[in-house]
Structure 1
Amino acid sequence: MLSEKSRPVIEATLPVIAERINDITPDFYQRMFTARPDLMDGMFSRSSQLEGTQPKALAGSIAVFASYILAHPGRYPDEVLSRVAHKHAALGLREEEYPTVYKYLFEAIAANLGDILTPEIAEAWTEVYWLMADALIKLEKGLYAVQANNAMFAPFAIVRREETGENVVVLTLEPANAIAMTDAVAGQYVSIITKAKDGLRQPRQFTLLPSEKNQRRVAIKLDIKGEMTQILHEKKVGDLLELSNPYGDVTLGAFGDSEDQPLYLFSAGIGVTPMIAFLSELAATGSKREVIVVHADRSLTTWPLRDEMTEYVNLIENAQLVSFVEADGEGNFEGRVDISKLGVPAHASAYLCGPLPFMQGVRSQLIEAGVPGTNIQYEIFGPDQWMLHDQARG
């Protein structure tokens, strides 16, 4: 809980910090990576730094946290903290690095604010930082504690390589040593680390697809502008990759939805992956729930894992598959997803995965159809800036 001493200081300075934080965080990262270049090796994504998505995500999370604890004394923004904690755990962030972040972040704040930063203001924002950091540390310790092993990353060998859709490769991996494997919950993901062309180890997150016991299976969409997906696409059977334990809080029922609610799974492109994991779980448990799977793609040939998705839908008693396809005459409907054609009831529970504009558009339509924002969940891989806005959380 924010102290009464710090509360009026944070209230007075939050507008200034919020306005300047997007300028502060790039300076913070530059300072930190200059002093600690090892943190870029295996933990931070170089492309996210270059794009600015990681700095903006950090900046936004601090501002959102401060704003939330001002408006809700005695409470924390649990959904935001959970999302951040799972991302941190998947990257192997350790408690001892929080003082590192504090040191270089507050150096950047001091440099930006100059004489504005009085000792009183510095003390108040230090309190905010450590309230947020301590909450994340506690969550991350809990996430690490339930794993079947204490390794942040372990070597896995590729045992199968398949292609599906357009520029999507499916890799099946098995542990290269005797490490105990944590059972993944449908919808969770792993970080995969491999070396960039200059030798720097770089992490990326991928949803876990249904697989056999003691296997991990992921689908990787080629990003022609990206740094790492091309390298991963070139991997062959027998090659080794470093995998984290499974993390992620976007799982069925995690947000209070129940079997009594119709379940709508909206995906576009490679966003099929968590939906296939959900469908596998529903099929395995013999669910009687009403499930409407809605997928959008350019054509049937570009639709990744279409046959697998269809097979799982057919295994669920009350499930149906609806497609919106841009190519003429190939799907149930032509063009983009149109919620008005689906008759979505207001008490429905919805999960979204796909490009951000797709998820924003579908979510807006669902809200207009009367579905509460709290009934709509989504997954983004990489730094999640959308979570920091009210339209993604409320």
Structure 2
Amino acid sequence: MTKSETVEQAYKVAKERYAELGVDTDAALKELKKVKLSVHCWQGDDIHGFLFPNQELTGGIGVSGNYPGIARTPDELSGDLSEALSLIPGQHKVQLHAIYAVTDKKKDLTDLEPEDFSYWVDWAKKEKVGLDMNGTFFSHPMVKDNFTLASPDKDVRDFWIEHGKRSRTIANYFGKELGQQSVNNFWIPDGFKDNPIDKADPRLRLIDSLDEIIKKPYDEKNTIEAFEGKLFGTGIESYTVGSHLFYNNYAISRNKLWTIDAGHWHPTEDVSDKFSAFLPFGKGLMLHVSRPVRWDSDHVVIFDEALVRIARSLVRDNELSKTNIGLDFFDATINRVAAWVIGARATQKALLQAMLEPIEQLKKAELNFDFTTRLAETEELKSYPFGAVWDEFCLQNDVPVGTDWLNNIHQYEKDVQFKRSNLINA
């Protein structure tokens, strides 16, 4: 019996088991295929980019490890992304940062034009993926004393305001060229290491700066802005200007998206509980799915309880249509392409498992205060043959089943990645 025949046989059994609970596995697979993840480019090159590849990382960002095969050029990074996307079922998007502009001219962040991203648009058309955008508000000499848009120095603010405006122009270009909305995410590292006297004025300056950036209207068919709060550590331990609550309120008041980064909350907080509290008031969400370890870190996403809770909240409360799901982690201790695949497939598995619940039946039991049925069924579902349904999803989307994708990675290492030097500009 071939592997595909084994998968089909196992799926047939799983389909029957789930049908006993009233769950249509075929419908779940169709729903999962509609979900586009936004895969972050910066996992592939440790956030070096192409504008200033030798610039030291700042803003509390650091990447651990030196696994061989780092991407150093646009062709290497796009090639690595193509390899990863070929191993992730479904059709997705890719997130870029401003520092990934591809130009033969020396440019600063305030000089960027849409033409500097034509390389990525051409590649995206070939791969049939969308592009999301991030302004790069870190690792630059104009980050003064840990401040950008909230700086007391007008020249500093003006520099970053101009960069923000240009990032919006580029995101609009992505949307027009690719025919799908480009989410333009804003995160800034502004804050104080020790206790500030004045917590209000930096936030008032940030509001003014952001309002200036978004003043020009763009068709939301092409692009929309998202604003990302942080509970951040290194350098701004005592005060973050753009806190979670700040951007929650800013997004609601400006009719924009709020970005929730799962890797930057207190360890005891349940990130998934934020969705249903925000979405009745807010336009929508951008998620940066990451994995914190003890706090303030971006480990590769795995199929853990935190991710399961995120997926359950989105699916059970019917919030997927208002939520953009992006990945955000960087690990240079393992193969960088494998990290993309592991994180993306884990996220899809969590969503699928949530889709394989008899949600309306469970909601009805809960509404009738039948907590016995609610607990019994959710516990039994944990041992249902969800893996067989996932294997069928991979088979239907022509990607390797199980750990077979790792064979592709090992071959790609041998043929491509291990032939590179680890020097960024080699």
- TM-score, reference length from structure 2: 0.28
Relative contact order, CA 8 A, sep 6+: which one is greater? 2
